[in-house]
Structure 1
């Protein structure tokens, strides 16, 4: 009788905590016990759950390190329950995980930001809460001792950010939100994110074959395979880390850039889209208009080109080729910009092991915010397909390797065709299906794969553009 009662929480009057079932998208009541309490955080554990981890030590670390570092970067969190604290619930997240499968490592649920509505499928605790997995994530500590603390820092950025999205009635693009959270783990002291970098450059050939070649980090759509999702996380992390690094000369200046990206810059623009992110970045301490451009689109082109060239080890920035607005080949010299904005030590692993050359065959899909690394000299002038502005190439010394990138972002428009390119505008699927695309599909040999969950809110329609790309070996004047 006691065991049965212990496993049934009382969230109406008993002080237990509502949690979301990831599979059903319904709330259920979790019986809890308080295991650690500090000035800024209370840590709860699901009653009866055996957790082989010192939650008291974790709570103190979050209180003394993660909390102050992230609020100094992003600002104070909301406090809807007026207790001045964050609650962290360690539970067995109901995500359908089985032995050696993927699992949800943790999540922030926006429903808790709003008042509870009894009788509905989703219930609110009306409190600032982070949910952390107490099973698979704990087991992962054998391989990554900082995984638990790093995930908590990642989710804390989402919690701080959400009220600003509500205030501006915006759903920030996933790549910006997730990439910022990945860097937040670094800021809290748990980086760089080695597994993300290995995925980015293709060193993790089982989970991330071919690295980020051909992957667009701008569009995170429903139904995307788990392998692509992982690459998008890696891509978003690496690019946001680069922008953070080059935004300032000091930690305070870099943090100011991130804080403005969440809260808004001098004229209230938040980083909800690529263009808005560039508006915020252009106010950062190290930004140089002469080197990076006076328009958001040009700033994105230049930073993305610098990023992709360095990522692939193609560093001939004096001889950058670009399709201009008239789709003529324009020669650019970005060598001075490269000298001013090289990768910092946080991305040393990419410098030491750059993005490998593309190994796919046949016609390739090419989308904005993506790139391919090829062996040999990819001559932009010989590109026979329809040309589009801001496609660019960066080559290595001796033209032994080339990067072809489409350094442009799309905007949300109602037209079905833009610039002659067929575009797609679709509402993202319900959260249940979005989660299935994220957490399914892992390999037994590599062990369970943690994926943090945050995407519970309904996304706005996103426009993205994609064209077929022929292999460079089929082009005149190109080296196979």
Structure 2
């Protein structure tokens, strides 16, 4: 089977053997790779637990090879990992959704394939027994989601896609993601110093710094988990919300960026516009403030101070106490209410759209941050303040302008092979040979590998 070399971004041929087959999944192992894990039991678990739960939440996967099964290849992912360094735990490669192009350096199996690491990820099971299964669930969400991105010719914002995959692991039964929560809170100071303080939910950094990447994943997980929890009162209602974010609501709106996510959320029966707002802009502001406040030990939601004008700086008071009562943290995030984000001093203040800082002081100075929708929430004694920028555009408070700007940014981020001809209906599976020639890359655009799951001390 073809696999992608993460270091060179080219394909190579992996000799494999089928080790387990179930009605919904086939598990392959790279030949001569010793895997200290029961892959047959894993296949049963994926077939009986992960597959039906995620199909219920997101819908059925594509089936380009017409065999009705997901292929999972367990291999030594070529990512340059060394002892005690970051590594790729698994990935979904969108190239497999398209027919193979022999002239390309990226080759397609033209099948539904997930790739899981058979070395470092297996070793991590000593610390996290569910890491392998959780990673498979994470990547399965990417696989289900991708065809809907192709259909709408859009690339969903990473924080939505990755945050949803993190929650997918919970839905499959492998949550809560305790390492994400520890990173978010900042108690794991070695890997995630200062936790989610100053990290933007919306603007994912391209830095290779493992700490930054981990904190971005942690914040995306916590926010998407909160949105999932408040979207309905039953699992069926919450799964209906997630399915709409992937496939589209009654008028075809998917959740590719923040405004669309809020549109889908506002369409849910559990959404109270009187408490959370009647526009996408207001919905994002209020849900972001509610989450960051609750996870920062802020309690005075009846007195949220918000910047409403910038010339001169004008603030107003917003009463979110009713929303706080109706939309508390769910059970998976409840630990953050009792052990909140570790506060940082004001001297370390960094704030961008979709980010927040938790301070162990009374903070009221908006003069250095004169932007709309920045707000503070404090505790009853004014000894703790969360300063949050609950907006998804720094340039406008207009919902329409924000949505347009965000959408254009998301769509221009990647090129794809969507227009590279029609997909074959025969479903033939290309086979790679023993002598793969790494031809020059001829594609007009590259398909990005979805950033893989990141568990414990490993990062994408």
TM-score by length of 1: 0.83
Could you say which residue in structure 1 is the equivalent of 2:157? Answer: 173
Contact kept, 8 Å, 2:92 with 2:452, in 1: the verdict is no
Q: In the TM superposition, what whole-angstrom CA distance separates every residue of 1:63-97 from its partner, at most 9, and x where no partner exists?
A: 00000000000000000000000000000000000
Contact kept, 8 Å, 1:136 with 1:448, in 2: the verdict is no
Contact kept, 8 Å, 2:74 with 2:115, in 1: the verdict is yes
Higher normalized strand content (fraction of residues): 1
Is 1:121 matched with 2:129? Answer: no
2:338 pairs with one of 340, 343, 352? 352
Contact kept, 8 Å, 1:214 with 1:372, in 2: the verdict is yes
Q: Which moved more, 1:106-115 or 1:328-337?
A: 328-337
Q: In the TM superposition, what whole-angstrom CA distance separates every residue of 1:141-194 from its partner, at most 9, and x where no partner exists?
A: 011000000000000000000000000011000000000000000000000000
1:154 pairs with one of 118, 125, 138? 138
Could you say which residue in structure 1 is the equivalent of 2:361? Answer: 376
Deviation, structure 1 residue 365: 2.9
Query: Partner of 1:63: helix, strand, or coil?
Result: helix
Query: Partner of 1:324: helix, strand, or coil?
Result: strand
Contact kept, 8 Å, 2:95 with 2:108, in 1: the verdict is yes
Deviation, structure 1 residue 99: 1.0
Deviation, structure 1 residue 448: 7.6
Is 1:26 matched with 2:34? Answer: no
Contact kept, 8 Å, 2:9 with 2:106, in 1: the verdict is yes
Cα distance, 1:323–1:411 mapped onto 2, change above 3 Å: closer
1:340 pairs with one of 314, 318, 326? 326
Deviation, structure 1 residue 200: 0.2
Could you say which residue in structure 1 is the equivalent of 2:293? Answer: 309
Could you say which residue in structure 2 is the equivalent of 1:270? Answer: 254
Unaligned runs of 5+ in 1: 1-16, 441-446, 453-480
Query: Partner of 2:153: helix, strand, or coil?
Result: coil
Show structure 1 runs of 4+ deviating over 4 A: 425-432, 437-440
Deviation, structure 1 residue 221: 3.2
The 2-side partners of 1:55 and 1:224 are apart by 32
Deviation, structure 1 residue 438: 9.3
Is 1:451 matched with 2:451? Answer: no
Contact kept, 8 Å, 2:139 with 2:453, in 1: the verdict is no
Could you say which residue in structure 2 is the equivalent of 1:11? Answer: none
1:195 pairs with one of 179, 200, 216? 179
Contact kept, 8 Å, 1:370 with 1:405, in 2: the verdict is yes
Could you say which residue in structure 1 is the equivalent of 2:421? Answer: none
Contact kept, 8 Å, 1:322 with 1:393, in 2: the verdict is yes
**Equivalences for 1:219-298 in 2 at 5 Å?**
219-223=203-207, 225-298=209-282
Cα distance, 1:67–1:412 mapped onto 2, change above 3 Å: farther
Deviation, structure 1 residue 428: 6.1
Cα distance, 1:188–1:337 mapped onto 2, change above 3 Å: same
Deviation, structure 1 residue 349: 1.7
Deviation, structure 1 residue 100: 1.0
Cα distance, 1:344–1:386 mapped onto 2, change above 3 Å: closer
Deviation, structure 1 residue 224: 5.0
State the Cα RMSD in Å. 2.5
Query: Partner of 1:211: helix, strand, or coil?
Result: coil
**Equivalences for 1:406-417 in 2 at 5 Å?**
406-410=389-393
Could you say which residue in structure 2 is the equivalent of 1:365? Answer: 350
Contact kept, 8 Å, 2:28 with 2:73, in 1: the verdict is yes
Q: Which moved more, 1:254-263 or 1:223-232?
A: 223-232
Could you say which residue in structure 2 is the equivalent of 1:67? Answer: 51
Query: Partner of 1:212: helix, strand, or coil?
Result: coil
The 2-side partners of 1:52 and 1:249 are apart by 41
Could you say which residue in structure 1 is the equivalent of 2:30? Answer: 46
Could you say which residue in structure 1 is the equivalent of 2:368? Answer: 385
Could you say which residue in structure 2 is the equivalent of 1:465? Answer: none
Contact kept, 8 Å, 1:226 with 1:438, in 2: the verdict is no
Corresponding residue pairs, total: 417
Could you say which residue in structure 1 is the equivalent of 2:89? Answer: 105
Query: Partner of 2:9: helix, strand, or coil?
Result: coil
Could you say which residue in structure 1 is the equivalent of 2:384? Answer: 401
Cα distance, 1:128–1:438 mapped onto 2, change above 3 Å: closer
Q: Which moved more, 1:353-362 or 1:256-265?
A: 353-362
The 2-side partners of 1:253 and 1:429 are apart by 33
Contact kept, 8 Å, 2:186 with 2:196, in 1: the verdict is yes
The 1-side partners of 2:394 and 2:171 are apart by 30
Contact kept, 8 Å, 2:262 with 2:284, in 1: the verdict is yes
Contact kept, 8 Å, 1:154 with 1:184, in 2: the verdict is yes
Cα distance, 1:64–1:337 mapped onto 2, change above 3 Å: same
Contact kept, 8 Å, 1:74 with 1:160, in 2: the verdict is yes
Deviation, structure 1 residue 383: 2.1
The 2-side partners of 1:69 and 1:178 are apart by 18
